[in-house]
Structure 1
């Protein structure tokens, strides 16, 4: 709904809608078109309109003035266009008329996709498709080509000769193509997410981590700032952590980032980390990261926080804080467990068939990188598990302290044999305490999980395969 007229009355109506929980937006326009505010210019406008020459349209036009297919006699009069300035826009009626005429593909010609979004709320059928030729946050050529392609696959006739005019492209006869099937093997080079250019040239330090791009010391604050950019195009394995149809940065990635920051400032222990808001990764574009570490107190403890903002948003938009925690040094416990005897004595193997199908049924769609749970055993209240990265993801494991997909896979044993009492519901960790990393670069883990407290917390002691030996990794997760 668009409200036009006197400003005070329009604002009052908008406030009333907002009070009912409706979202409103003030349009950036020069005048209150289609309202009594236009009455003062109608006579002058009619004078101009009557001095023009009109031609009958060559294609049918559905008018926003009438909401129906307009006749040539009506649209070629000055009166029609005077009424068009003054009277209401019958957009809903116009879309419904197009739908009644059998139209199922709609192309918007304009500076953005505003009408496309509105039209989707107007149609009643399920077969409608919409394409906007321009988008304010996308390159013009990309947006135009996407719209043309969408219309083409929907059966619209595209004048390809006009599209490729002055490009030097020439049509290829189909007989020039081989008649045998192609061998569909891709040879595109794999672009590393670490390739970010020379950050030293702009006065920054290397972050030396796949999820971060650069680092900077904060001399006055005795702290550090890490920056990065996450996108599904540069970190495609993150698409494998889709929860309820939304790609989320896994909690284990927050832990990995905190551990990396601790390494930089000489803290070997993540005392605590609380996730405050999910970090959603968009299908297109990316998000900017800011990971900050504050000054050390008298005990050497340092505050830590992680913020993000969509890169498509303007600079004045606020950042979202996703996590806060505390790094410490000297408090890391010694490894008090041994998993070299494997599988543990007296442990009974747990059947894993259908584990990931069951998680999918409750909205946890894990991709290949995150489907790492290989085997599991139960002994009393304990669960032991083997987890491993798939071959492609394992190639990148050496660049991480502990690959987030690998640690996340270790958590998938929660709920097996009653551990964690999940009740068939999916859970995500949001608070971590006492995280210590003793070795890095693992592609496989041996895991021990056991209940550890009244808050359904679990203590996890993880053996990590690194350089052909088993090295320990220890953490506690208070809530999940």
Structure 2
């Protein structure tokens, strides 16, 4: 059967909770993807089942920063819906600009033009509005829109509060006015809660909070010299800070000089009642969109962006799906940091990412949303091509084998003369001849154990030290209940794409029952590298007590809700708000699996 017919048939059959998406142009590509899929375990394919009601859908539009050279070239060629909307945007912008929109967003040679605020803001507006049309063509309709800074212009247009012509006027003429402020100020990002940033700014005249993106991400705006001094102070106090590549101070008193001019050039704008809820990051609440006049678009540029407060309020109103509609994901981290503390397991998805702007990349994002339960109309993928249902095999039943194996290669460790180690990483164990102890073997890879990819250091996947401890402790259990008495981690175990072989060698115990061990892994060059060593000892000695005594018990009058023995007297608890964000800024990435 033709792949189009197969895809049509599969997407019109039962949509099971555990699901995944395969993307390809032909049988070869799809078969390769399917074969890769069949090598995975079920829990690796879909880590969580799709929810029948993931929550109301919000389209999120970022401000400046998601642009990249040629950001619309790939998808423009492959998607008629995107191309048609971008053409309409070009027509709406043409009366207000002296540059070509299609060239600016498709030709990498036009990259220098994207450094101009009067080019990049209209260009991003056009790409975001066109991506919103693409999402809608796949049946994903927003229940609400929310924008960050200039992203509110695209949000208002997509919601129906502004006509395309009025939105084009706002983004083009306002950005031209902003350009007159070039060289007078700047902005920087600070990784601290907003209350701390306000306290720091008390000694920094000429600066103010420009945006609150998340519990630990704040933008500061103001005079260039004051920003330089503030940057130095942050570095000296070990506060993460980054200068944003703009030479003007949005969302600060600098904007007040533009007020009269903006009222004039945006005076003809006629807002209207929207068909989609518009949540304002100026007011941190849903607004009547008939108020989105010239004065509002001045306030949008002058006042702080209350992004965190707005999306948290939306989550409280039942919004569980937040799709960032942009050429690169710049707000997904802020969304995650703002929403995850509230619980509810929100669905946070992007559209494209830098240097990945093909239709296939958009479909990957749509697939991730669909896998979480967001309804997607996949018939849009075959638009313009005839489709029909075809006979396909039914879904396989889940089966469990009870017959004894044949003793062939499929029996794994047993076929190699080994016993099973009954462990996810250690597949076999073998007593070594000559009284040289016992060898445990296995392998580890992020493909087979995808949760490992949630633990990174400077973007390298690293096997956690606690996994090595558990590995050795499990071997101790197999050897009569020995406990880990000493452990030295000698080198980090990095994981790339290929599986890495493991060997745990436990020597024969000495007269006191202690057995030395080493942990080795393949080094990628045909040899083995030692990553850990230590000693297994009798469990009572390791615990420091009598084996028959069991674990220590709390006093009879102890409050069971309070930890016993910790914290020590006089200890002061540390605030952990934003901990994982701060660790990530220092290169230590803890994904969802590792967040306790």
TM over 0.5: no
Using the size of structure 1 for normalisation, the TM-score is: 0.43
Question: Which structure shows the higher helix fraction?
Answer: 2
Using the size of structure 2 for normalisation, the TM-score is: 0.36
Of structures 1 and 2, the one with the larger relative CO (CA 8 A, separation 6+) is 2
